[in-house]
Structure 1
Amino acid sequence: MTGLGAVFRPQLAPERLRAVARVADEVGLEELWLWEDCFREGGISAAASALAWTERVRVGVGLLPVPLRNVAVTAMEAATLHRMFPGRAILGVGHGVQDWMGQVGARAESPLTLLREHLLALRALLGGERVTTEGRYVRLDDVALDWPPGQGVEVFAGATGPRSLRLAGEAADGTVLTASTPPDGVRRARRLIDEGRATAARADGHRVVVYLLAATGPDAGERLRAELAAEGDASVPDLGVAGDAAAVAKAVERLAEAGADTVVLQPTGDEPDPEGFVRFAAEEVRPLVA
């Protein structure tokens, strides 16, 4: 079955998260995803709060920019969430928006090298290993978590370009694709991810999560077109969806047929009713998705 989720966008004030998370839990939404966009809201603090306010919904962070964190800190925070809320936290990391990284003095000369080193060390630490490594960016000397997760933990990587998609297949357990990815883009991403998996002789599972920009309501088309234009995606075919539950479900299924395991509905930045959007996803769209 195709997984379905929704995004709590950081354009909303942090104090709005509690109400949205509780609605997601009440209506049976499978996954609620959060972003750590500079300079809005902290991903780990928001995820911990959402998990504490709810009982069953899985909470994803997509993505944590690795230039901002020592990998040991990422591992400690991720392990803490997984031990306190077993099976409910989803962690995604990425190399970050380079302009933002530059603003805080954390821009890496080779973002891909940094992401590779971070992924390898992070997965090893969360797997309970004791790690010593001397990389270009990641340096650890006999580091192990005192409280590693009690079960296997998936680490997702955000990826867009061919090299980062191959790296995700090689070094991550799953991939997060942005809302700028149409069905054909998902197919291409799957091929590149599989190339990376083959390079690393990976035979385990690899879940692909795709954001889908979605709008519903009387002004849905106008809001969708405005956001696509603002993101420079107005000319990309088959991108985003506006309309009722049937229209959104069809768009979800097109992404699933292209290779998405989970589709996360991303409201427009000016969505007037975030709680209603979550209800729409769970109560109206979910029953129509195979």
Structure 2
Amino acid sequence: MSAQEFPELGCYLLPGHTETPRDAIAEAQQAEALGLGKVWLSERFDVKDAGVICSAALAVTDRIKVATAATNLHTRHPHVLATMCSSLHYLSSGRFELGLARGVAIRNQLMGLATVTNSQMIDGLKILRSLWQGESVAGYDGPMGNLPYLKSGDWLDANIPIHFVGFGPKSLRFAGQHFDGVHLHTFITPEGMRRARQLVDEGADTAGRDERVKLCSVMATLINPSREDYLRKVVARMATYMQAPGYAEMLVALNGWDEGVIEAFRKAPVVANMLGSIDSVATLEQLEEIATLIPEEWVSAVAMGSEAECAKRLHEELSYGADEVCIHASTPDEFAGVLEHYRILK
């Protein structure tokens, strides 16, 4: 396949949990060989440090873009985050992109961090972009803290795209005002995707922006999955989102689902007595029971079935308002055959 044959398609590096971060090297090379436009990395605080893994992926590839989806604005000092990003930018001749999220509320609490506010986001973006342009930040005292003097270098001239990683309706409008792109979430229905496009565009219009804010859909893709694969990659993932206070509520609001389902789900003994995240600790027997608590519609917003059926679903997503689709829950080895069918649809 030729380079960048599918610039509108991407995939995750190290999807989900991993104990072998070195796999990211081969996965990035395979994604580039398949002609994908981008790979995304979701940072975890174990062996998936964003700077390290993105650096490795960029060092062993030549054309594909590498982006975080996501890291956080407040887990690194703003100058340290700016330096990480500018280093990756110049290391790769401009192939790095930054995806930022507010962080999961419970994790923020456990780490002693407050959830990032809109005012922090706005000022944080300004600080990053200023430093990347060789400008100084002096005498700042505001939502991002007390920053007497920050300066990276006069010669810097790095235009690094910044994506908002999230999906709450209010956040999507906000992202349309301030970010270059939005990286969404799994389990967003076609109607939810159209709504997301509308909200992002409303935000951009409010800010008087002419350029299109790119929208990236995240599509769980399972080729002829076994029952265990379905339970672990679809049911367990959705159930874990439904566990988290506030998280599933945003997905329900975007998709127009019944919020009462979440309350009943969380009260169910199999969920209420779960000691940890469902996708980390639940047995297959427990997942079978949990599957009965989730409406079929909630777990059907994925690409699943034959390679041809998965290709059709990925292609359809672009007609609902997405500019890019990030393939999730499958590695390049697993979804390579899907691209053969996708090519015919382009």
TM-score w.r.t. the length of structure 1 is 0.87
CA distance in 2 between counterparts of 1:223 and 1:103 reads 31
Q: Does 1:126 align with 2:132?
A: yes
Superposed, 1:225-236 pairs within 5 Å as 225-230=231-236, 231-232=238-239, 234-235=294-295, 236=298
**Comparing both chains, which one has the higher relative contact order based on Cα–Cα distances under 8 Å and sequence gaps of 6 or more?**
1
Give 1:57 shift: 1.8
Q: Does 1:256 align with 2:318?
A: yes
Give 1:218 shift: 5.0
Give 1:228 shift: 3.0
Unaligned ranges ≥5, structure 1:
none
Contact 1:177 1:211 (C-alpha < 8 Å) held by counterparts: yes
Give 1:142 shift: 4.1
CA distance in 1 between counterparts of 2:184 and 2:345 reads 20
Q: Does 1:223 align with 2:279?
A: no
One-letter identity of the residue aligned with 1:6: C
Give 1:67 shift: 2.2
SS in 2 for 1:205: coil
Give 1:25 shift: 2.5
Give 1:30 shift: 2.0
2:219 is matched with: 212
One-letter identity of the residue aligned with 2:121: L
SS in 2 for 1:67: coil
Q: Does 1:68 align with 2:75?
A: yes
Superposed, 1:105-116 pairs within 5 Å as 105-108=112-115, 111-116=117-122
1:279 is matched with: 336
CA distance in 2 between counterparts of 1:87 and 1:223 reads 37
Contact 1:83 1:150 (C-alpha < 8 Å) held by counterparts: no
Contact 1:24 1:32 (C-alpha < 8 Å) held by counterparts: yes
1:244 is matched with: 306
Unaligned ranges ≥5, structure 2:
1-5, 243-293
Cα RMSD, aligned residues only: 2.4
Give 1:2 shift: 6.7
One-letter identity of the residue aligned with 1:199: T
Give 1:114 shift: 2.8
SS in 1 for 2:63: coil
Superposed, 1:169-184 pairs within 5 Å as 169-184=176-191
- 1:206-245 per-residue CA deviation (whole Å, 9 max, x = no partner) reads 11111101101452x6523543322237432651121223
Superposed, 1:140-179 pairs within 5 Å as 140-146=147-153, 150-179=157-186
SS in 1 for 2:22: helix
CA distance in 2 between counterparts of 1:90 and 1:285 reads 29
Give 1:151 shift: 4.7
Contact 1:4 1:286 (C-alpha < 8 Å) held by counterparts: no
SS in 2 for 1:68: coil
Structure 1: which 4+ aligned runs deviate by more than 4 Å? none
CA distance in 1 between counterparts of 2:110 and 2:154 reads 34
CA distance in 2 between counterparts of 1:49 and 1:70 reads 22
2:12 is matched with: 7
Superposed, 1:37-116 pairs within 5 Å as 37-108=44-115, 111-116=117-122
**Paired residue total:** 282
Give 1:69 shift: 1.5
Structure 2 counterpart of 1:188, from 167, 192, 195: 195
Aligned CA distance change for structure 1 residues 198 and 142 (closer, same or farther; 3 Å): farther
CA distance in 2 between counterparts of 1:36 and 1:147 reads 30
CA distance in 1 between counterparts of 2:114 and 2:156 reads 30
Contact 1:256 1:262 (C-alpha < 8 Å) held by counterparts: yes
One-letter identity of the residue aligned with 2:119: T
SS in 1 for 2:103: coil
SS in 2 for 1:118: helix
Structure with the greater alpha carbon radius of gyration: 2
